[in-house]
Amino acid sequence: MQQHVESYYAASRNRHDIYAPLVDVIEADVCVIGAGYTGLSTALFLLEQGYSVAVLEAAKVGFGASGRNGGQIVNSYSRDIDVIEKTVGARQAQLLGEMAFEGGRIIRDRVAKYGIQCDLKDGGVFAAITAKQMHHLESQKRLWERYGHTQLELMDARLTREVVGTDRYVGGMLDMSGGHIHPLNLALGEAAAVTSLGGRIFEQSPAIRIDRGANPVVHTPQGRVRAKFVVVAGNAYLGGLIPELAAKSMPCGTQVLTTEPLSEELARSLLPQDYCVEDCNYLLDYYRLSADNRLIFGGGVVYGARDPADIEAIIRPKLLKTFPQLKDVKIDYTWTGNFLLTLSRLPQVGRLGDNIYYSQGCSGHGVTYTHLAGKVLANAIRGQTESFDAFAQLPHYPFPGGRLFRVPFTAMGACYYQLRDRLGF
Ligand SMILES: Cc1cc2nc3c(=O)[nH]c(=O)nc-3n(C[C@H](O)[C@H](O)[C@H](O)COP(=O)(O)OP(=O)(O)OC[C@H]3O[C@@H](n4cnc5c(N)ncnc54)[C@H](O)[C@@H]3O)c2cc1C
């Protein structure tokens, strides 16, 4: 049986229900495949509209990225809105731009409505390491204001130093609609909300086949769900269930470490306002404090999602580059998790046939995007397709190099961007 990966989150998760595997033939309006944020958010929006929903989870609720991530509520997409404008034109970009900060609001609504205990804190910082990155933040702020998002605040080096205890940054941008959460407890709380509304969740129940057609049937090793609609929300852990979806995306690993609990004084000297931080590098570092004053620090990407042998050896040097004062601090937990990358770094959203919906591959900023995706997919199933169409029309391309060479080719591309970050051009 697959359990949550060993992590700080698994060690500090709330008491939660264990959901039995599916061993029956059942019916539901919608069968959701995957109990990460995408699946749970979709299930919740549908249940709130009176649909019956069955959620199949191959392992445990929050087993995937949703239970292992950095916990950062970072709004917007993994591609800048001006690039999106150039790709899709002004009207579609307007719709996408208006939705770009909605995911954080959905999380806060869920936490309040269902009383989810997940250490929610407000405030996220984008930290600039070079002058070029700072100029970029300035232009992004101006752009977002055009879309009505006026809450962003630029910070010079001195102000940034007041909220992040390092001399590494030349400035930053504060988003008080960002913030952070205990990600696994958010997923577990959302699952409890699903069942409180009559939704059914089955753990240890991988979808192994879908009979497509007017009345799709989703098969698990010991059961079946007959449904009117299917939502595929397996993201980087989906494997080959839907071959069409694998062709234009690539699972990638990213690693996280957690320090021992820091003294109150040391913790406040690192992040006095308890904001979360991500830097502006192409391969970015992200970090925040936990509720018990540990520093949770992530970074780096392993293309093709191999599990690195020694995570501390990869992440600790990054941590010390930002906070050399932590050189004697013990690392209590390290783990890896997979997210799904697309070539454009924009999500893949769509429908197969008339009734199989999917959203995957947001390539980062997934904590917020996946919550928005739930709303977008649920609305599409209800026949309101405007926001779904705006995502579904985003163009997607296969990675260069085909199945054999896409990993080395993409890694080479990333090296180029890493070099640009280092040299500041
Ligand atoms: C280490 C790490 C750190 C990250 N940090 C951040 C961050 O700080 N902020 C941020 O915004 N984003 C972050 N991300 C990205 C974010 O976590 C993801 O984008 C998001 O959680 C994806 O949610 P999901 O529901 O689409 O997929 P997942 O959470 O991966 O869930 C997919 C689920 O589907 C299940 N599944 C797969 N196939 C099947 C099947 N055939 N049948 C049944 N079930 C199936 C899996 O077991 C899994 O539980 C991070 C990702 C990782 C890996």
Distance separating alpha carbons of residues 174 and 164, to the nearest angstrom:
11
pLDDT tens figures, 161-196: 999 999 999 999 999 999 999 999 999 999 999 999
* pLDDT over threshold 60, residue 413: no
The answer, yes or no, to whether any atom of ligand 1 lies below 6 A from the CB of 362, is: yes
The full DSSP string for 86-110 is HHH-HHHHHHHHHHTTHHHHHHHHH
| Ligand 1 contact, 232 CB (< 6 A) | no
Q: Is a pLDDT exceeding 60 seen at residue 423?
A: no
- Where residue 300 falls (left for φ over 0; alpha for ψ -120 to 50; beta otherwise) is left
Sorting pLDDT into bands at 50, 70 and 90, what band is 143?
Answer: very high
Q: What is the per-residue pLDDT for 195?
A: 98
Digit-coded pLDDT (tens) for 215-244: 999 999 999 999 999 999 999 999 999 998
CA 168 – ligand 1 centroid, Å: 30
Compute, in angstroms, the gap from residue 327 CA to the centroid of ligand 1. Answer: 31
Residues pairing with 175 in the sheet: 124, 152
Query: In the chain, where are the structural domains located?
Result: 1-75+101-113+181-247+345-394, 121-180+250-341+405-425
Q: With a 6 A CB cut-off, is 68 part of the ligand 1 pocket?
A: yes
For the chain, what percent of residues have pLDDT higher than 70? 94
Sign of CA dihedral 355, 96, 411, 322: negative
Q: Facing residues of 360 across strands?
A: 348
Q: 39 in ligand 1 pocket by Cβ < 6 Å? A: yes
- The finding on whether 70 has its CB within 6 A of some atom of ligand 1 is yes
CB atoms within 10 A of CB 192: 18
Q: Which range (46-60, 127-141, 296-310) has the least confidence?
A: 296-310
Ligand 1 centroid, distance to 131 Cα (angstroms): 33
Q: Does the pLDDT at position 102 exceed 70?
A: yes
Neighbours of 112 (CB within 10 A): 10
Residue 300, pLDDT score: 78
Nearest CA to ligand 1 atom 35: 34
Q: Which range, of 185-194, 298-307, 407-416, averages the lowest pLDDT?
A: 407-416
> What single-letter amino acid sits at 329?
V
> Does the pLDDT at position 282 exceed 90?
no
pLDDT band (50, 70, 90) for residue 422: low
Sequence-distant (6+) residues with CB within 8 A of 394 are: 84, 87, 88, 344, 346, 347, 348, 349
In the predicted structure, residue 415 carries a pLDDT above the cut 80: no
Which pTM was predicted? 0.95
Residues 223, 25 contacting (CB under 8 angstroms): yes
Domain covering 1-75+101-113+181-247+345-394 assigned CATH 3.40.50.720 in the classification: no
Give me the pLDDT at residue 349, please. 97
Question: What percentage of residues in the chain have a pLDDT greater than 90?
Answer: 82
Atom 38 of ligand 1, nearest CA residue: 238
The reported pLDDT for the residue numbered 404 is 58
pLDDT band at 127 (very low <50, low <70, confident <90, very high): very high
Q: Which fold would CATH assign to domain 121-180+250-341+405-425?
A: D-Amino Acid Oxidase; Chain A, domain 2 (3.30.9)
Question: Do residues 72 and 299 touch, judged by C-beta distance below 8 A?
Answer: no
